[in-house]
Amino acid sequence: REAAEQEAATSALGDYLEFLKKQEQIKRQKTLDMPLHLRTGPNFIDMGCPRSMETEARGAMAMVVKKAVDPKWSTELKKINDAVGQRLEYEARLSAPLSTLSPELPHMFPKRYRSSPPTPYFEPGRRGR
């Protein structure tokens, strides 16, 4: 008689554990059936955005160094840096402290850089059509 009771208890426990496994599987399947944009992640605060222990300023400074090493970006950065340097040199020469007046058009220094967007071509006394 005791063996029969123990077998019934074991089978009842086994049935209960099997029921729990099925419930867990149903819950997991219900989550997987949801569209991706509705699924919740493990942490709702940083969902979709990885954690970073780096400040934005430090990240921006590090990005310039990473891009300078990359061959694709290094040539573009060099071109931009040269153009900015030429523009600064032109503006410094134009407003140099040696003279109090800006030079007239015939005596101005030539621009060695292309402005972005390019400065429109202007001829005095002529309408632009």
pLDDT in tens, 49-74: 777 889 999 999 998 888 888 887 77
- pLDDT tens by residue, 7-18: 766 788 888 888
Kindly give the interhelix angle for 71-94 and 56-69, rounded to the nearest 10 degrees: 100
Supply 71's token pair: 């061959």
- For residue 86, which of 113, 110, 105 has the smallest C-alpha distance? 113
Residue 116 has pLDDT above 80, yes or no: no
Query: Percent of the chain, pLDDT > 70?
Result: 71
